[in-house]
């Protein structure tokens, strides 16, 4: 095995207040939408904690339910002090990790990866250990699900619209790995959730999906039709 596999990683996962999270899960009642968002975040945190390359996980969130769930899993939880957006929350989490566990690589991971496996994350972090900064694009091809910076390197996440292009332009290396569908499958819509289910959902998200009340969810097509009527 190469020396790159010995890098230890701090993973930062930002999570919105559940009342504001996943508004594009069209047609879901508020309680169902929040339950799915909480479940996806918990499954993502659990997969990260189970990854052998990960030394610690920092969750950045002001949501009480997220804090309770993440701390029970073994993550460190800090508040979103900047309250200035996703990248600022990630930077705050990275600063916290660097202050408490210096010498580790820092990875930013989105909180909506319910089909993520620890082995997928390990494969990506192992590959990321060979370059200064790296990222994994989402399944749609325009976004980012994972961004990494090696120990001592600048940590400058560029999540948001067209983040794949912005990370590439900033010099981060895109990791074109095979066999990581769960790491690429971020969930914003009900169609995304179905795609994740075909890969294999984590236990909490699977349970939350099965508990959605009949009639709570409409298809994306039905929702679009009602909006254009």
Whether residue 136 is predicted with pLDDT greater than 70 in this model: the reply is yes
Say if 226 falls within a structural domain: no
Q: Residue 1: inside a domain, yes or no?
A: no
In-domain check, residue 125: yes
In which domain, by residue range, is 212 found? 7-216
pLDDT, residue 217, reads: 55
What Cα–Cα distance (Å) separates residue 59 from each residue in 8, 203, 227?
17, 20, 35
Distance CA(186)–CA(113), nearest Å, equals 5
Query: Could you tell me if residue 229 is inside a domain?
Result: no
Is 170 within a domain? Answer: yes
The pLDDT > 90 percentage for the chain reads 87
Q: Helix, strand or coil for residue 149?
A: strand
**163 close to 90: Cβ distance less than 8 angstroms:** no
pTM: 0.91
Contact (Cβ atoms closer than 8 angstroms) between residue 135 and residue 221? no
CA distance 183 to 169: 22
User: Which residue carries 């994972």 as its tokens?
Assistant: 146
Whether 223 maps to a domain, the answer reads: no
Flag whether 225 is in a domain.
no
Look at residues 181, 216, 179, 217 and name the one whose alpha carbon lies nearest to residue 201: 181
Both tokens assigned to 1: 């095995």
Contact of 46 with 9, CB cutoff 8 Å: no
Domain containing residue 82: CATH number: 3.90.550.10
pLDDT higher than threshold 60 for residue 226? no
Query: Is-contact 182 48, C-beta < 8 A?
Result: no
pLDDT for res 213: 79
Buried b (16+ CB within 10 A) or exposed e, 25-40: bbbbeeebbbbbbbbb
With respect to residue 163, please indicate whether it lies within any of the assigned structural domains.
yes
Lookup: tokens for 167: 């990370």
pLDDT at site 4: 44
Q: Please name which of 55, 21, 37 lies closest in space to residue 151, comparing C-alpha atoms.
A: 55
Look at residue 59 in the predicted model and tell me its pLDDT.
98
Domain count, the chain: 1
Average predicted confidence (pLDDT) for the chain: 92
């Amino acid at each position: 095995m190469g020396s790159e596999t010995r890098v230890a990683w701090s993973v930062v996962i930002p999570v919105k207040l559940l009342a504001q999270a996943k508004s594009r899960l069209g047609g879901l009642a508020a309680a169902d939408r929040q339950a799915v968002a909480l479940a996806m975040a918990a499954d993502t945190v659990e997969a990260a904690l189970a990854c052998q390359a990960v030394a610690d996980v920092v969750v950045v969130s002001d949501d009480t339910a997220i804090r309770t769930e993440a701390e029970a899993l073994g993550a460190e939880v800090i508040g979103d002090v900047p309250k200035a957006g996703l990248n600022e929350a990630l930077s705050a989490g990275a600063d916290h990790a660097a202050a408490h566990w210096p010498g580790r690589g820092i990875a930013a991971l989105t909180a909506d990866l319910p089909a993520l496996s620890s082995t997928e994350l390990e494969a990506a972090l192992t590959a990321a250990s060979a370059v200064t900064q790296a990222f994994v694009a989402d399944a749609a091809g325009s976004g980012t699900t994972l961004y990494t910076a090696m120990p001592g390197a600048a940590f400058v996440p560029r999540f948001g619209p067209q983040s794949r292009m912005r990370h590439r332009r900033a010099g981060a290396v895109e990791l074109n790995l095979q066999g990581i569908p769960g790491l690429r499958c971020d969930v914003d819509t009900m169609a995304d959730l179905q795609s994740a289910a075909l890969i294999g959902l984590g236990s909490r998200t699977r349970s939350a999906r099965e508990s959605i009340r009949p009639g709570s969810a409409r298809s994306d097509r039905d929702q679009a039709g009602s909006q254009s009527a």
